[in-house]
Amino acid sequence: MNKSLFIALSSCAVAFATPISLADAIAMAKSCNSQIKAEKAKVEMAESGQTEARSRFLPQLTLTASVTKINDPITIDLSSLQGPLADIAGTAAYSKAYISTYSAAYEKKYGELYDGAVKQMMAAGLTETQAKAQAKTIIDEKAGDIWSGVVSSRDAHNAAVQQAETYQKATSDQIKESRDFEMKVQDDVFFNARLTAIWPLFTGFKRTAAYDAAKENVTAKKAAFDMAQNTVLMDVATKYFTLRLAEELTIMREDTKKNLEEHLERSKKLEEGGQISKAERLRAEVALAEAQNAVEDSYRDQTLARMALASLLHTDTSLTATTPVLAPENIHSMEEFKALALDKHPGLRQLRTERKRSQDAVSAAQGDYYPMIALFAYKELYTKDLTILEPEWAVGAKLQWDLFKGGETRSKVANAKALDRSLASMEEQTMDNIKLLVEKRWREMEHAKSRLESLKKTRELAEEAHRSQTLAYEAGLATGLDVVDAELSLSRLQVADLKAHYDAVIAWLGLLEASGEVGNAGEMMANVQAPVEPAKVSEPVAAPAQPVLPVVQPAAQTAAPVAEPSVPAAEPAAETAAPVAPAAEPAAETAAPVPPSAEPAAESSAQ
């Protein structure tokens, strides 16, 4: 009852499942898969890093502002200069007063002579204006004599000395008695606001190397994205064809179950007519029970495969595969696949990009041998709290050249060159691994195709044997065991044929993965025609009118047949399992597919 309910529920799930092609599944994975989204975000991060590296070629403009509180105001004590300053000021006052006294005496003597000359000219009959002009001319001509007379005068000399000494003493005493000989330079609370611009002109090619490295980093992240997407899409395609194989196996096993049900009904009628023994009818019932178990297993495998595919596509929708399990015929040769893989394999492209980055690292390390030159400028936006030693603005150029760093620069350059040599060796090894991987998967595909050719004749033989045994059983010339064995043998051959197609498709997908073209698998499979449906079992003929005694079979022939091979499960370990043919069936044994071998170490290295 439980088995019937499980099969019924599974059938309903299949009936309401959404059909999806391989191309649709790949497109859905590209847009919905979480791992692909994460790798795409890393590419965007690398592109932002490239923009950041480009900004280093432009000047930097910075605005800074601060409020500072110090313990005490900053002052300058000038008391030690008070005495010398007083002497200097007194001397200056002495000189000034001395010169001023002589000047006053000269002006007084000049005025007296001028007034006398004017009066004389006016007495001679000249007008006042004419007298002043002529008097000024005459007195100016005697200015030198007047000054000499004043300087040589004892009275003027005594007055000048007396006046100078008085001023000298007064000025010197005023400075010496002053107590304000401290200058405040900075208050205890002050505010600063500055706009600064810096423009590096030459950095020893470090900026260029950093920008090139940032560009290569974008290329590397894109290669890593392609590699991750390639791996995810390979997983999606594998899970897709696993689901498709499970669905086709379910159909085949349903047909086998239906044929065994019809055979059981015929066996019951023949037993009632006394034409066969009870053992043959029981053998048909056992075969039908095993076929029911196989159908149940098929539905379970189908459910697991559907869940695995839906998980990769990040969807809760029940899906059913529509693209047939059949590898395209028109594909590249092995050498062409090798050339494509060496040119487009994402892992190899990523490694080559890392080599370019290592070469940029060498250039960046060698940049320490060169000087750094930069222009700078700043403007104080708040000048009230500036000290007397701080300018309001400044512009200039700066050079920095590390002449000796203890061998650090040489070590950096040697390290970067060693990394480049290491990556070059890894690139050569990866190329060899990729060639080996392509050749391995190519041979796996050719092996699967050769199995298909051998299975083709074997299947024809099994179909003919099944038809003959059915007719012989109806005619009373064969036992029910012969019919059941023929039915199971044909079923195993059909499963082996499907499994060989599956192995060929997976090997073909492996070649696409190595060449970085799994994303195009859907378009390549668009024109592939579905495989021919399994041959329908011929309708049984009417039972003979005359009863025929059954032939007694050896006891060994009544043994239960071995269960049929199942679909590869959703788990990777189960996917590598291969169907095993029972020893009692020689034809099926020769047609059983060879289990796919484990991937070599080269495959993991190449990816």
Q: Over the stretch 253-282, which tens digit does the pLDDT of each residue have? A: 898 888 888 878 888 887 787 777 788 788
Residues 130 and 216 in one domain: no
Between 293 and 13, the more confident residue is 293
Please state, in angstroms and rounded to a whole number, the distance separating the CA atoms of residues 496 and 589. Answer: 10
* Extended beta strands in 7-128, E state: 18-20, 60-69, 74-77
Which residues on adjacent β-strands are paired with residue 321? 20
How far apart, in whole angstroms, are the C-alpha atoms of residue 481 and residue 485? Answer: 6
Q: What's the pLDDT at 212?
A: 84
Q: Please check whether residues 93 and 174 belong to one and the same domain.
A: yes
Domain hosting residue 414, numbered range: 18-55+207-366+409-547+562-598
Closest Cα partner for 200 from 337, 400, 45? 400
List, in order, residues 6 or more apart from 63 with CB less than 8 Å away. 193, 194, 195, 196
Q: Copy the structure tokens of residue 16.
A: 């309401």
116 and 32 inside one domain: no
Q: Is residue 438 helix, strand or coil?
A: helix
Buried b (16+ CB within 10 A) or exposed e, 55-67: eeeeeeeeeeeee
Whether residue 104 lies inside any domain: the answer is: yes
Same domain, 102 and 244: no
Indicate the average pLDDT of the chain: 76
DSSP string, 251-269: HHHHHHHHHHHHHHHHHHH
534/305 Cα distance (integer angstroms): 23
Asked if residue 168 and residue 311 are part of one domain, the reply reads no
**Of 114, 148, 182, which residue sits at a domain end?**
182
Note whether 121 and 249 are same-domain residues.
no
Q: Please, is 353 exposed, middle or buried when counting C-beta atoms within 10 Å of its C-beta (0-12, 13-18, 19+)?
A: buried
- Strand locations in 351-509, DSSP E? 372-380, 393-400
Core vs surface per residue 381-416: b (16+ CB within 10 A) or e: eeeebeeeeeeeeeeeeeeeeeeeeeeebeebbeeb
Question: Does 157 share its domain with 254?
Answer: no
Residue 196, both tokens: 């600064």
Range 473-479 average pLDDT: 70
> Could you tell me how many helices (H) and strands (E) the chain has, helices first?
17, 8
Contact 169, 176 (CB under 8 A): no
CA distance 23 to 584: 42
**Alpha carbons within 13 A on the beta-carbon side of 109:** 20
Statement to judge: residues 332 and 477 lie in one domain: yes
β-pair partners for 589: none
Could you write out the DSSP letters of every residue in 395-425?
A: EEEEEE-----TTHHHHHHHHHHHHHHHHHH
Of residues 14 and 167, the one with the higher pLDDT is 167
Instruction: Please indicate, yes or no, whether residues 170 and 112 belong to a single structural domain of this protein.
Output: yes
Do 281 and 215 belong to one domain?
Answer: yes
- Beta strand 189-202 with 372-380 is antiparallel
Residue found under tokens 């070590």: 411
| Spatial contact of 216 and 358, defined as CB atoms under 8 Å apart | no
Same domain as 23, residue 139: no
Residue 399 falls within a domain, yes or no? no
Mean pLDDT of 14-29: 80
Residue 7 lies in a domain: no
Last residue of a domain, one of 182, 197, 231: 182
Nearest to 530 by CA among 180, 162, 22: 22
Can you give the pLDDT at residue 166? 79
Report if residue 193 sits inside a domain: no
d(CA 444, CA 450): 10
Q: Number of structural domains, the chain? A: 2
Contact 101, 163 (CB under 8 A): yes
* pLDDT band, residue 178 (cuts 50/70/90): low
Say which residues have a Cβ less than 8 Å from residue 221's Cβ, sequence separation at least 6: 39, 42, 43, 45, 46
224-238, 359-373, 415-429, 516-530: least confidently modelled range: 516-530
pLDDT at 477 over 50: yes
Encode pLDDT of 510-566 as tens digits.
888 888 888 888 888 776 655 434 433 333 333 333 333 333 333 333 333 333 444
Smallest CA-to-CA distance from 451 within 348, 350, 594, 308 is with 594
Is the whole model's pTM more than 0.75, yes or no? no
- Residue 394 within a domain: no
What's the gap between Cα 36 and its chain centre? 10
Q: Give the lowest-confidence range in 340-344, 485-489, 499-503.
A: 485-489
pLDDT digits (tens, 9 = 90+) for 180-191: 666 777 888 989
The model's pLDDT over 135-176, given as tens digits with 9 standing for 90+, comes to 788 877 877 777 777 777 777 777 777 777 777 777 776 766
pLDDT (0 to 100) of residue 181: 63
Burial class (CB in 10 A: 0-12, 13-18, 19+), 467: middle
pLDDT of residue 80: 65
Q: Which pair of tokens denotes residue 94?
A: 């002495």
CATH of the domain at 486: 1.20.1600.10
pLDDT at 61 over 90: yes
Give the span between the Cα atoms of 579 and 507, in whole angstroms: 18
* Token duo for residue 305: 């495969």
In a domain, 385, yes or no: no
For residue 62, tell me if it sits in a domain.
Answer: no
Q: Considering only 68-82, 370-384, 391-405, which range has the smallest mean pLDDT?
A: 68-82
Mention every residue, 6+ apart, whose C-beta is less than 8 A from residue 367. 203, 204, 205, 206, 209
The tens digit of pLDDT for each residue in 76-124 reads: 766 666 667 667 777 777 777 777 877 887 787 778 777 887 788 888 7
Residues 265 and 165 in one domain: no
Give the distance from CA 261 to its chain's centroid. Answer: 58
What is the per-residue pLDDT for 530? 54
